[in-house]
Chains A and B, each alone.
Chain A
Amino acid sequence: MNAVVTATGLTKRYKNTLALDDVSFRIESGRIVGLIGPNGAGKTTALKAILGLTDFRGELNVLGFDPRSQRDRLMEQVCFIADVAVLPRWIRVREAIDFVANVHPRFNRAKCEAFLARTKLTPDQRVKQMSKGMIVQLHLALVMAIDARLLVLDEPTLGLDILYRKQFYQSLLEDYFDENKTIIVTTHQVEEIEHILTDLMFIRDGKLVLDTDMDAVGERFAEVMVSADKAEAARQLKPLDERQVFGKSIFLFDGADRAVLERMGEVRRPTVSDLFVATMKGTYA
């Protein structure tokens, strides 16, 4: 296994807030990692550090480069889409393709044009004439045509309708992702990326509170639907979270004994969003 990103003791302090607090993690090649956290938890700061867009303390190695000092070479191997509206508004589709084709050594023009042929975009169209969804289509077409080893997506589908969102992730999976590529994605629409993630990281107040792969999530966490008479017994097992549905209680357990849980009720694998809500309880309180 070769690591794409290795972070040790990553710390970033803005004037009076600690955006990243001594974070250490490792991302292997060929994974799709969801970096999930509430607003202001430090997600974007972590991504900026990986992309060399901000200074930080600690050790960070991305594809063998230090993003602070070797950024220009690193960016040949790394792509990112930060939010939807970062393409310059004056640029035309044709100009954007020409420019990227000529400054990026790993850009495949045919691939980009093939992808754009499936959209309504025309070569002379300017970004300012496009809807948010179309801007993302253009950006994705540019990025997917680059044979990069690491793709960083920071809220790539924010403000898009569900058709564009589905299409976005579908294109990524079908036409882009393979075992040599790694994707790091942050989003608030957790349900939509849940099924494509291989790894999960929860970040809260600048600290990683969960760093695991999706298989382990199923083994470690369990959700049990318990009828009212057994609820008290379930509470004894110290659940992470409890909520009420149709007069029954749903408990979320971390590392509890399967056999015990199964005697109390129906055991399910929790969704990432339920897990997220349970983990982040009290963040804004």
Chain B
Amino acid sequence: MKTFYWLMKREYWEHRGGLLWAPVITGAVFLILNLMAIITAEVLGSRHGAMMIGGNDFRTMIEHADAGDLANIGSAVDVAMLSSMSLIGIVMGLVVLFYCLGSLYDDRRDRSVLFWKSLPVSNTSTVLSKVVSAAVIAPVIAVFVSIICGVMQLFIYAVVLSLHGVNIWQLLTLAHPFRVIGSLLSAVPLYSLWALPAVGWLMFCSAWSRTKPFLWAMAVPVVVGLMVSWFGIMGLFNLPTAWFWTHVVQRVLLSVFPGSSIVFSDHNLSSMSDMDSNDPLSVLSPGHTYGLLATPNLWLGVVAGAALIAGAIWFRRVRDDS
């Protein structure tokens, strides 16, 4: 256990830039852009003498809002808080993608694998420590950065609006910051499971390929997908050709992006329609997202991911090219 902890620490040392600084810088850039937008709005607004949204004075709008409108304002604040997450999520997906591709290849290329292999650490723990870094540590850090970023953004809005005489406490009670935080935290375990086939495939390529793991990881599923489409192989299983693209190609390449489960999974697309349109948070609420646990798509992916990781461990042991 101690060894495993230090293996994870080792991964963090090596990839501090991607795991920590990439989300932090993304969040900071996002906040700065927001501030600039607000300043621009202030400058334009001061010329008209009032805070204008869609031609209406924001303050009078709140004062005259009925319950439904207030709920909409709350949702808008929630979405504002979440918006930083989407950007950080995309960056984190890229970080995880390239982290996995390099994880078992870079040290073979620079031959430092000889140093790591001179220590009494099993290949299994080495590979698993990298899986955990990709599927758990990376999203946990990204979620915490998103939460801090979201809270700061809420704070900025509150300050700006209070300068215009809007009651910030009323505004904050309309929003659901704790629900947003809870939803984000609850998304981490689901992400870990959902991303597993992609993490497994990318790490398998990383352990297996002698050169250019990126090319192999991209080319193999895409070329196979094209062959499947071309020859209509899926017809043999009474499945449409698109099935292969959505259930294999996308799953092994794009599942590292958080939120991809909401976009790709049939389960979510179908249940999205009967969602409360006034409550955008429900897309991310655990009650909704954890429905994914009941789908074979998720669990088949987990099984495939585990098999690919086992393959990565095996190739980590036998690849002998340093």
A contacts, CB < 8 Å to B: 48, 51, 53-55, 71-73, 75-76, 78-83, 85-92, 95, 98-100, 102-105, 139
Select A102's contact among B2, B113, B118, beta carbons within 8 Å. Answer: B2
CB distance from A112 to the nearest CB of B (A): 14
Contacts of A75 in B (CB 8 A): 117-121
CB distance from B99 to the nearest CB of A (A): 14
Contacts of B318 in A (CB 8 A): 55
Q: Are B119 and A103 in contact (CB under 8 A)?
A: yes
**In the bound complex, CA of A250 to CA of B122 (Å):** 53
Q: Are A100 and B14 in contact (CB under 8 A)?
A: no
Q: Are A83 and B111 in contact (CB under 8 A)?
A: yes
Contacts of B111 in A (CB 8 A): 82-83, 85-86
**In the bound complex, CA of A73 to CA of B2 (Å):** 16
Apart from A86-B115, A89-B112, what 13 extra A-B contacts exist at CB < 8 Å?
A51-B117, A53-B320, A83-B111, A86-B112, A88-B14, A95-B10, A99-B10, A102-B5, A103-B2, A103-B6, A103-B121, A104-B119, A139-B115
**In the bound complex, CA of A104 to CA of B121 (Å):** 8
Q: Which chain B residues numbered 200 to 237 have a C-beta less than 8 Å away from chain A?
A: none
CB distance from A75 to the nearest CB of B (A): 4
Q: Are B3 and A89 in contact (CB under 8 A)?
A: no
Q: Are B107 and A88 in contact (CB under 8 A)?
A: yes
Q: Are A80 and B3 in contact (CB under 8 A)?
A: no
Contacts of B10 in A (CB 8 A): 95, 99
Given A103-B7, A103-B120, residue A90 in contact with residue B13 (CB < 8 A): yes
Select B320's contact among A48, A71, A86, beta carbons within 8 Å. Answer: A48
Contacts of B13 in A (CB 8 A): 90-92, 95
**In the bound complex, CA of A72 to CA of B119 (Å):** 8
- Chain A-chain B contacts (Cβ-Cβ < 8 Å), number: 73
Q: Are A102 and B6 in contact (CB under 8 A)?
A: yes
Contacts of A71 in B (CB 8 A): 122
**In the bound complex, CA of A20 to CA of B94 (Å):** 44
**In the bound complex, CA of A48 to CA of B7 (Å):** 24
Q: Are B120 and A72 in contact (CB under 8 A)?
A: yes
**Per DSSP, are chain B's interface residues mostly helix, strand or loop, or mixed?**
helix
- Verify if B114 is at the interface (C-beta below 8 Å from A): yes
Contacts of A102 in B (CB 8 A): 2-3, 5-6
Contacts of A90 in B (CB 8 A): 13-14
Given A88-B14, A99-B10, residue A104 in contact with residue B115 (CB < 8 A): no
Contacts of A72 in B (CB 8 A): 120-122
- Verify if B110 is at the interface (C-beta below 8 Å from A): yes
Would you give the 0/1 interface string for B231-250, flagging 1 where the beta carbon is closer than 8 Å to chain A?
A: 00000000000000000000
B contacts, CB < 8 Å to A: 2-3, 5-7, 9-10, 13-14, 107, 110-122, 318, 320
Q: Are A99 and B6 in contact (CB under 8 A)?
A: yes
Select A73's contact among B113, B116, B120, beta carbons within 8 Å. Answer: B120
Q: Are B112 and A87 in contact (CB under 8 A)?
A: yes
Contacts of B112 in A (CB 8 A): 86-89
Q: Are B320 and A87 in contact (CB under 8 A)?
A: no
**In the bound complex, CA of A99 to CA of B107 (Å):** 16
Contacts of A82 in B (CB 8 A): 111, 114, 118
Q: Are A89 and B6 in contact (CB under 8 A)?
A: no
Contacts of A104 in B (CB 8 A): 119-120
**In the bound complex, CA of A139 to CA of B114 (Å):** 12
**In the bound complex, CA of A85 to CA of B2 (Å):** 28
**In the bound complex, CA of A104 to CA of B118 (Å):** 10
CB distance from A97 to the nearest CB of B (A): 12
**In the bound complex, CA of A82 to CA of B320 (Å):** 14
**In the bound complex, CA of A174 to CA of B105 (Å):** 38
Q: Are B3 and A103 in contact (CB under 8 A)?
A: yes
CB distance from A88 to the nearest CB of B (A): 4
Contacts of A91 in B (CB 8 A): 13-14
- Which residue of chain B is the closest to A127 with respect to CB atoms? B112
CB distance from B117 to the nearest CB of A (A): 6
CB distance from B178 to the nearest CB of A (A): 38
Of all A-B residue pairs in the complex, the 4 with the closest CB atoms, nearest first, are A88-B112, A75-B120, A76-B120, A102-B6
- Which residue of chain A is the closest to B15 with respect to CB atoms? A90
Contacts of B320 in A (CB 8 A): 48, 53-55
CB distance from A213 to the nearest CB of B (A): 27
**In the bound complex, CA of A80 to CA of B118 (Å):** 6
**In the bound complex, CA of A105 to CA of B122 (Å):** 14
- Which residue of chain B is the closest to A52 with respect to CB atoms? B117
Q: Are A87 and B115 in contact (CB under 8 A)?
A: yes
**In the bound complex, CA of A55 to CA of B320 (Å):** 9
**In the bound complex, CA of A100 to CA of B320 (Å):** 23
Q: Are A86 and B114 in contact (CB under 8 A)?
A: yes
CB distance from B7 to the nearest CB of A (A): 7
**In the bound complex, CA of A235 to CA of B9 (Å):** 67
Q: Which of A72, A81, A92, A100 has the most CB of B within 10 A?
A: A72
Contacts of A105 in B (CB 8 A): 120
**In the bound complex, CA of A92 to CA of B13 (Å):** 9
Given A85-B111, A88-B110, residue A79 in contact with residue B118 (CB < 8 A): yes
**In the bound complex, CA of A86 to CA of B9 (Å):** 20
CB distance from A170 to the nearest CB of B (A): 22
Contacts of A51 in B (CB 8 A): 117-118
Q: 22 A-B residue contacts at CB 8 Å?
A: A51-B117, A55-B318, A75-B119, A75-B121, A82-B111, A82-B118, A86-B111, A88-B107, A88-B115, A88-B116, A89-B110, A89-B112, A91-B14, A98-B6, A99-B10, A100-B119, A102-B2, A103-B6, A103-B120, A103-B121, A104-B120, A139-B115
